Structure 1
Amino acid sequence: MTTLDATASAPVATPAPEPRARLLEGMARAVASKGYADTTIADIVREASVSRRTFYENFADKAECLIALYELASGNAIGVLRAAIDPHSDWQAQVEQAMGAYFGVLMRNPVLLRTLFIEILGLGAPGLAARRRANQQLADLMLDVVNNRPGERLRKTPLQPAMAMAVVGGINEMVLQAIEQDRASELQELVAPAAALLRAAVFAEF
């Protein structure tokens, strides 16, 4: 099982060298089975089929391993999102296609999704920094799709970075709410409101 079950045909982050990659997959399997709080280093190394010594050669602790897993999973999900964009279609169609693919990847492993969206926030500054980097990647992709769309521009000024980040934050909050309400299997229902949120930001008047 690949991290967050990204499709094999989709572009993914550059594979980590062995045995680090095995440890990250081991972490993903352990967390998917038990959740982060109950996952131990013994669980991770057993799932990865490596030694405890190998773990500590790659990560200082369980939290550092989780951050690395989060970054890999985020890269994979964003790769799926990017691959779903048709550069020849209208930007609004591009956004809905991409969001459908993105939410589809996220909903395939609810336990891991909860860990990567909620428990990462419990790791303090390093976890928040990793979350911020992932959010910036999403905002940058959004800016590229909207501001470089084909055809006539529909507003005089392009979508601004602050507004793109606000949209990313809003989408994250919708995902978090779905997780907290045990509706992680229904993330596709967020495509329409997420697209509406972006349209509101694009056409906002300043």
Structure 2
Amino acid sequence: MTPEAVPPAVEAPANANRSRLLEGMALCAASRGYADTTVADIVREAGVSKRTFYECFATKAECLIALYEAASHNALKMLGQAIDPAHKWQTQVERALSAYLACMADNPVLMRTLFIEILGLGAEGLAARRRVNQEIAGFMLTVINAGRDGCQRDQPLPAEMAMAIVGGINELILEYIEQERVTALGELVEPAARLVRAVTLAGVAPPSASA
């Protein structure tokens, strides 16, 4: 079984080994939990040596962070594929949220491991989480500030407000993870979309009737 959250291996041997190790980490973390996973477990699943592991990653934690970022980038890819510039940004955001949450709901055990364990890795884990959140916020800014909704914003949505939205949605996701409801993440599309609209429509004036 290859978790959907992990991107396929590429041709270069070093990158192929890295991808196999990420798959091995995903399988181990999903089946026995990160805390009980050892480097020996990961390399056995990946079919590579410990030497190969340490050529790719300095520690088990570094491997988990790489898996977290790979899974997040895969979810971002789903976001991008859900966007249709022909529609207003509100519709685009709702479709993107549906794709993003569905991608995570496809592998509930792995998502629980990633979202919970990444918070336990200290500053390194928090930095990885922030990088991912900044990428999602940047994607959101691109969609919302594209100016295709017929509304005139005094100023573009600031980056810090986009980050606040992402943080709020992440808290909703974490609550569902803690409640063992990852497969029901689709329920969050409507409240998450409502949050996005509430923040982004503040300070936006509708187009003038005389325009």
User: Is residue 9–residue 15 contact of structure 2 (8 Å, CA) maintained in 1?
Assistant: no
In the alignment, does 2:168 pair up with 1:158?
no
Distance verdict in 2 for CA 1:184–1:102, change over 3 Å? same
Pick from 82, 85, 99: which aligns with 2:83?
A: 85
Identify the range of structure 1 (169-178 vs 44-53) with the bigger mean alpha-carbon deviation: 44-53
Q: Tell me the residue number matched to 2:21.
A: 23
> What TM-score comes out, normalization by structure 1 length?
0.91
Greater length-normalized contact order (CA 8 Å, ≥ 6 residues apart): 1
Q: Which residue of 1 aligns with 2:207?
A: none
The Cα shift of 1:122 comes to 0.6
1:17/1:176 CA distance change after superposition, 3 Å: same
Query: For the pair shown, which has the larger CA radius of gyration, 1 or 2?
Result: 2
Taking the aligned partners of 2:78 and 2:92, their CA distance within structure 1 comes to: 13
For 2:136 and 2:8, the matched residues in 1 are separated by 14
TM-score, normalised to structure 2, is: 0.89
Post-superposition offset of 1:129: 0.6
Task: Check whether the contact 1:147–1:158 (CA below 8 A) recurs between aligned residues.
Answer: yes
Q: CA deviation at 1:205?
A: 4.0
1:155 Cα deviation from its structure 2 partner: 3.2
Select the residue among 61, 71, 74 that pairs with 2:72. Answer: 74
Equivalent residues of 1:13, 1:75 under 8 A apart: no
Paired positions, count: 201
1:94 to 89, 92, 95: 92
In structure 1, runs of 5+ residues without a counterpart are: none
Within 1, Cα distance between the matches of 2:168 and 2:182? 16
Identity %: 61
Quote the offset at 1:115 in angstroms.
1.5
Superposition deviation, residue 35 in structure 1: 1.3
Provide the residue aligned with 2:144 in structure 1. 146
Contact conserved, 2:9 with 2:19, CA < 8 A, in 1?
A: no
Q: For the structure 1 residues 66 and 155, does the alpha-carbon distance in structure 2 shift closer, same or farther, using more than 3 Å as the test?
A: same
Alpha-carbon contact 1:77-1:102 (below 8 Å) kept: yes
Q: Distance in 2 between matches of 1:61 and 1:199?
A: 41
Deviation at 1:153, TM superposition (A): 2.1
Give the conservation status (yes or no) of the 8 Å contact 1:13–1:79: no
Deviations 1:29-61 (A, max 9, x none): 111111111111111011100111111121111
Query: Any runs of at least 4 consecutive aligned residues in structure 1 with deviations exceeding 4 A, and if so which?
Result: 12-16
